[in-house]
Structures are given as structure tokens and as C-alpha cells.
Structure 1
Amino acid sequence: MSDDAMRLPDVLDEPTDDQWEQYVSIAERSFGVPLPDAPLLRSNGLVRLAADAEGVIGGAIALPFTQYFGGRPLSSAGLSLVCVNPSARGDGVARMVVDSLVDHLRERGVALVALWTPSPGIYRRWGWEVAGGASAYTVPVTSLRTMPRRHSRVVADPDPGSVFALHAELAGHWDGALHRPGWWWGWKASAAAKERHHYGVANDDRLDGYVAYSTQPLPEWGQSMVVEDLWARDGGAFSALCTFLSKHSSFTPHIRFAPGVLPSPPELSLWLPQYDWHEHPWHPWMLRIIDIESALTTRGWPVGVRANISLRMVDGPMAGTELDLMIEDGKARLGHGSGRQVMLTERGAAAWFSGCWSASRLARAGLITTGDAHTLATMDSLVATRPWLPDRF
């Protein structure tokens, strides 16, 4: 085999416009959809492309953002548009560009990297683990009429500043939800600006909830409605939004809540009179911890729980790292590992940290190892918030 044949592709972090267009073309063929928002992602994300002598053969983008865990924001990023030209697949190109991005993110102080994928097995080999799921839900519009009524003022096109503030207030209640950067709102709004409608519900001039939805004509009669974003301060605001949506029944037989818009299982099911809603599972989101010390000390922890747990990472880049995790008053500090009471795999650490899997279940699956049942129970009590990532990227 010649030296040219054995030569590894180059990794590009500042591609030319021509190289970028080659990558976008590969991505559009790989995912089967046009990518009109690719320039926006390029300008707000970190790009890594792989190229050989004939041109670009693959690439990926990391979108910097903040994710909440335990009510506190952590520096994170979303891995997106990972793709490789079919002729170069199976040669480690994707791993090469992903590793380059992860290394750069770690150097910048990013603690976590999240992604959505229908192929979790690939990313498990690289240290990611499932942190949550997403489903779409289809509900007859008439069923929403039975929601408890609350008098609220419906607001068309609510003030964006009020919408941003409400989202920032509510997102912190969930593990995994984003504190959306400013450009993110523009990205999602521009994706379907002409077809998307925005409404809010308010009481005493305070925005308590908002919904964004799109409509399309049905072949024979009426229109379909897809809810793309919905946030409510409390059950009353959620009910008011559902009541508003139910008023479209003259033209819309069913409402579809897009994947991730509602946490799973949705609280909506508590109010429906019959089991006439349908769940459409989507693929999961995954998480990888790339800076374990920052992740553990930055996230919030339950205020009423005290803990002192010795952790030892057993695989991945952090293999051999030993830490004493000491938690009190909702905060954590770290000391040098004084024992090997809990053995954590890289995947096990991510799954436990996200709240998707309890330490006890991960121990049964072999991703956490300890002989101390009390320690597992303590770890279970430390991470009990239901994870939810309503944003797709």
C-alpha cells in the first residue's frame, strides 16, 4: 500500500467557503433534507471537517450553549450534523472530527456535550450514553375542551423579551433543558417564520405561558397543526394554552405536539377524558461528560442531602481519576480520592448525572460497581429530577 493510500485525512477547523459547501452537500445527502440554516449554524458553531486529496469527505458542528442540571447552568455544547461521504464511511472519519471538536471544547472549559441520534451504539463506543428520550403526541382537538378552564388573556405575538424571560425562568426546573442563546431563538423562528404562529396567555400583564405552532392544509379539508414550542408557568397556564388550541376544532381534527415539546410522559395525559392520544417515539438524546470535576462542582444538588462519596473513573480519557464528592447545602466540592468505593464507567457517569438512570439501575447494568447498597441509595437521592431536552439540533 502506498504512502498516499495510507495517509489520514486532514482535519480542518477553518474551512474555506468552497470546502464548507462541499460539507453541506454531504450533510444534505446524508440526512435527506435541505439545510437552509447551515450558514447560521456555521457562524454560531464550531466546525470540524475532514478532507482528503479529492476534497471534503465529512464533518461535524458543535453548537455552544448552556444546559441546566440541578437548577444551575453548565457550559455545554450540542453535537450536530455529523456525517461522512458514503465512500469514506467505516474508516474512522467521524470519530476523527468528533474527537477534534471534543478536545477543543474541553480546552474551552466546556463540561458536557449532548447530541440527538437514532444510532446510540456508535456514540456509546465514544463515551456517550442515553440521557433522555423524546416523543411526539397526537391528540384530538375536541379532547382539549375538557381541560380545566382558567380565565386568561390570550396575546397574539407576545413580546419576545417576555417570552425569553419566561423560558429562562422555567427551563432551570429541568435537568438537561437549555438556556437558549439569543441566536437560537432567531434560528428556530427563521426555520418556519411564515408558517409559524405565536400566542401567549397572560394575567395582570404577566406572561404565564406561550405556544408556537405551524399549520398546513390537509388534502381534503381543514388543516393540520403542529405545536413546535410550549412553556407554561403552572397548571393553570398550561390549561389555558390547551383551551386556546381547542378553539381550532372547526378546521383542525388533531393537534400534534412535535418530538420533545412535552416531557415524557406528558402531564397532558392527566387531564384527557379518554385514552385517545397517541405517542410517536423519537430517537433519544445522549450526554457525555468531558470535564468531570467541572460538571460535579457546577451543577446543583438537593439542599437537604449530605453526602461523601469516593468515585473512581475506570475507562475513557478520565480513567484512573479518583475524586471525593462532598455535597452539602446544595453544593459540591471535591477532594482527592481516598478510596474506590464507587467505580464509574464513562457511560455510567453520564447516565447517572443526567438523571435518566438511577445509580441502582446502572449498578444492575454493570455501568457502576460498588459493594455498598447505602452508597447507591445516596446516589439515587442526589439525582432525582426528570430529564427533559425540548430542543432539537
Structure 2
Amino acid sequence: MSAPLTFHPAGDDDGLWQQYNALATRSFGHRVDDITRLRPHADLHVAIRADTVVAAGLGLLLPQHFGGAPVPSACLGAGCVAPEERGSRLAARLLAERLRPLQDQGAVISTLWTASTAYARHLGWEAPAPVTACSVATDDLKRAPAPPGTEDLDIAHGPTPDTERLQRELARQWNGPLQRPSWWTAWTSARHALTTYRFTPPGQPPTGLLAFAMTPRDQHGMHLAVHDFWAADPSTLHAMLAFLARHDRAATITFQRNVLPPAPLLLHTLHRYRPVLKAWHPWMLRILNPREAIRRRGWPAHPTLSAVIEVESDTGDTGNRYLLHIEAGSGELTPTSREAAVSFTRRQFAVWYAGGYPSTAAAHLAGIRYTCAQTLAALLDSTTGHQPWLPDHF
């Protein structure tokens, strides 16, 4: 008979952290250096059988921007289960244990990056948008036309408090980016050996932030991979692309997964539109507390909206009916027994929350049930003012 399974927070137990590190190496097939780097900032929960860590994962309580407001999120990363323990739903039990302390600390939503999309979907997470990486010929960037004013920008090496403020301001314009904590820049710079540049109009605060990694190729030249790309206006955008094109020892410029915002930047910029796109596994969102998630989110100032919606319960049984009221930039869910005009599964609710249904046609194809098309359209309009985009990886 196998030994019983128990779950524990690791706290400052060096032995549990070391076992987790060894388990992650065995599970992923390579060392996960982030475990050491994130230890001061993350919660670690472990599953133990016979005094041995057989499953574990990190959790970070970080705000994510939705509708321009920071929403407390349980960000889960580096989860692993020993190969000999797989197939027994241990991952699902561990996820519940990892979420509990973060919910106790105020998390009302949860986000993770995962290649196991079907498994996460079964547990209530859903992907609001596709994720891609993009490679562009450096010559195509070099020949891209630049608008007037691009040449006036000053380019300087290194991040500053001003560039961190710029990134936070631009992140609020999308649904999903993290409100990066103070340790984020140092962590990602060490993680990827990043070189950072700031772009500044004369006498003004920075309007652009660019960070990339360079690695040598086998024979000659180099690989250049962009990890941060934040531009406040078209002139800065073109100046950043032109600056990348100066690094012509790299035959191609690679924009890592989800680095570029979901806008037709390259489509409207390149001399020849021939980028190579690579699909990546997506980020996935789950609403842990619908009422608080609605209250904490940002909403349009106009117009006022009242609609009865139904949201599937966590058990997948009968849904919970609410009156959703949005007015003057605030939203509220109130339980009601009235008939729902729009019914969401919990996964559909997460995608709607993130602005992932750009049209009623998209919502219809996703299987959202509704009795009033006008109400559905108004609901979609309330979240699609900001597009879903998560450029942060954890």
C-alpha cells in the first residue's frame, strides 16, 4: 500500500526547496533557474509522499490590469509532478492547494502559462487570445519608412525609474499585463541577460523601452531576441524598429512570444511583409471570485449598463444568476432570481472578462447562450475597449 499524500507550504524549509529544484529538473529535463531567483518573492506548495516531494509549484500574488485597473491575481508558475505520480489527478489537487493561500491574500482571478491547455481548461481556465512569436528579416526592418520626428529621439542605455513608470502607464491600456513589482526588472534582466535602452524626446520623459538578448551564432553573427517592446507613440515605435535594424550582425530579429502588442505594427511597417510566426502555448485565465473580480476591474465611464447574466458554478452544475450593473466606471454583480439574458460557462466568463470576444459573431461561435442579441453586444462592448495581451512570463 502506497504511503499517504500530504500537502504543505514550503516556507523557508531549505530541504523542501532543494527537493523541488531536483524534481523540476527531472520533470522538465533541464534546470529551472527561476526557482532560485523567485524564492524571495513566491509561495511554494509541495505534495509529499514518504518524506519525498512528488509535486510542487510556485505562486505569485501580482495585480493584472483589466479595464485600466489592477486586479489581484494568483499567478502560477513552474508546476511539476513526478513522472511516476502522473495520471492520478495530483496536478489538480496541487493547483487547489497552491490557489488557497493566494485567495486568502486577496486574489480574485488566476493566470498561468501552460502547454497543457486541455487540462487547465477542464479546471476552469481559458485562453483569451492566441500567442505568437515573430521573426523578421533585419533588412526588412532597415528599409522600413520612418515618420517625421523619429530622428529627434535620444537613445540611451539602461532602465530608469522613468522607464518603469512608462511601462506601467502603457500596461494599463491592455487587459492582462502585470503591474510589475519592484524586483521584476532585475529578475528578468538576470534571467535573460538583457540589454535595455530607453527612447526619449528632448526635454521630455521617455516614450520607449526596449530590452533584448544577444547570443553568438555557431560560425559568425548573432541571434537577437526582443523581450520587452513598449512604445508610447508611432514615432517612438519606428525609432525602436530602426534601432533594432542597426544590429545587422543578426540576420533576423526575433520578437519573443507575446512581446509585440496585438496591433498591426509590422503589417503597416515592414518594407516586405514576410515575417515568420510561431504559435506558442497561451496564457490562461480563471475567475476565482466573480463578484470581487467585477468590482475590482475597470469599466467604461459611459454608457450605463444593467443586464442579468448567468455564470456556471465551479462544480459545473447550475449557474449563478447575477444582475451586472456598470455605471461611471464601476461594476457590480448582485445575485438575482431573474431570467438571464446571457449565460456564460466559467471559461467563457473569463474570456469575456479579458475582452477576448471582439464581436457578437465571435461570441456566438464560442457557444455563448443568449436570449437578447442587443444585451450580448452591450456586454461585449463593456470589455473590448482594452484588448487581451500578457507580455509578462512567470
TM-score w.r.t. length of structure 1? 0.93
RMSD over equivalenced CA pairs, Å:
1.9
Q: How far is 1:157 from its partner?
A: 2.4
| Structure 2 residue 270 is matched with structure 1 residue 272 | yes
**Corresponding letter in the other structure for 2:346:** E
Deviates more, 1:222-231 or 1:305-314: 305-314
Deviates more, 1:318-327 or 1:25-34: 318-327
Specify which of 59, 68, 73 is matched with residue 71 of structure 1.
68
Check whether the contact 1:70–1:175 (CA below 8 A) recurs between aligned residues: yes
Q: How far is 1:248 from its partner?
A: 1.6
| Structure 1 partner of 2:389 | 388
| Structure 2 residue 137 is matched with structure 1 residue 140 | yes
Q: Percent identity?
A: 31
| Structure 2 partner of 1:33 | 30
Q: Residues 127-170 of structure 1: CA distance to partner in whole angstroms, max 9, x if unpaired?
A: 10112232111111121222314123343324420111110110
| Structure 2 partner of 1:202 | 200
Whole-angstrom CA distance in 1 between matches of 2:191 and 2:280: 20
Whole-angstrom CA distance in 1 between matches of 2:264 and 2:218: 30
Query: Which secondary structure does the structure 1 equivalent of 2:128 belong to?
Result: strand
Q: How far is 1:358 from its partner?
A: 4.8
Whole-angstrom CA distance in 1 between matches of 2:92 and 2:170: 35
Q: Within 5 A, what are the aligned runs for 1:291-302? A: 291-302=289-300
| Structure 2 partner of 1:227 | 226
Whole-angstrom CA distance in 1 between matches of 2:224 and 2:171: 24
Whole-angstrom CA distance in 1 between matches of 2:145 and 2:111: 35
Q: 1:231 to 1:358 in 2, by over 3 A?
A: closer
Whole-angstrom CA distance in 1 between matches of 2:391 and 2:61: 16
Q: Residues 61-95 of structure 1: CA distance to partner in whole angstroms, max 9, x if unpaired?
A: 11111111111111112110111000001112111
Whole-angstrom CA distance in 2 between matches of 1:184 and 1:224: 24
| Structure 2 residue 13 is matched with structure 1 residue 11 | no
| Structure 1 partner of 2:177 | 177
Unaligned residue ranges in structure 1 (runs of 5+): none
Q: How far is 1:40 from its partner?
A: 2.8
Q: Residues 229-272 of structure 1: CA distance to partner in whole angstroms, max 9, x if unpaired?
A: 111111110111111111122x2211111111102454122111
Whole-angstrom CA distance in 2 between matches of 1:144 and 1:363: 39
Q: Within 5 A, what are the aligned runs for 1:311-350? A: 311-316=309-314, 320-341=319-340, 342-350=342-350
Unaligned residue ranges in structure 2 (runs of 5+): none
Q: How many corresponding residue pairs?
A: 385
Deviates more, 1:149-158 or 1:10-19: 149-158
Whole-angstrom CA distance in 2 between matches of 1:261 and 1:372: 37
Whole-angstrom CA distance in 2 between matches of 1:346 and 1:153: 46
| Structure 2 partner of 1:152 | 152
Check whether the contact 2:64–2:71 (CA below 8 A) recurs between aligned residues: yes
Whole-angstrom CA distance in 2 between matches of 1:172 and 1:66: 11
Whole-angstrom CA distance in 2 between matches of 1:152 and 1:32: 48
Q: Within 5 A, what are the aligned runs for 1:249-260? A: 249=248, 251-260=249-258
Q: Residues 256-292 of structure 1: CA distance to partner in whole angstroms, max 9, x if unpaired?
A: 1111110245412211121221111111110000011
Q: How far is 1:201 from its partner?
A: 1.2
Whole-angstrom CA distance in 1 between matches of 2:263 and 2:206: 25
| Structure 2 residue 304 is matched with structure 1 residue 303 | no
**Corresponding letter in the other structure for 1:66:** P
Whole-angstrom CA distance in 2 between matches of 1:225 and 1:274: 20
Q: 1:49 to 1:280 in 2, by over 3 A?
A: same
**Corresponding letter in the other structure for 2:306:** N
Specify which of 255, 260, 281 is matched with residue 283 of structure 1.
281
Whole-angstrom CA distance in 1 between matches of 2:212 and 2:95: 34
Whole-angstrom CA distance in 1 between matches of 2:40 and 2:315: 30
Query: Which secondary structure does the structure 2 equivalent of 1:43 belong to?
Result: coil
Query: Which secondary structure does the structure 2 equivalent of 1:207 belong to?
Result: coil
Q: Residues 157-186 of structure 1: CA distance to partner in whole angstroms, max 9, x if unpaired?
A: 244201111101100000001110112222
Whole-angstrom CA distance in 1 between matches of 2:333 and 2:121: 27
TM-score w.r.t. length of structure 2? 0.92
Q: Within 5 A, what are the aligned runs for 1:93-172? A: 93-145=90-142, 146-149=144-147, 150-172=150-172
Check whether the contact 1:28–1:35 (CA below 8 A) recurs between aligned residues: yes
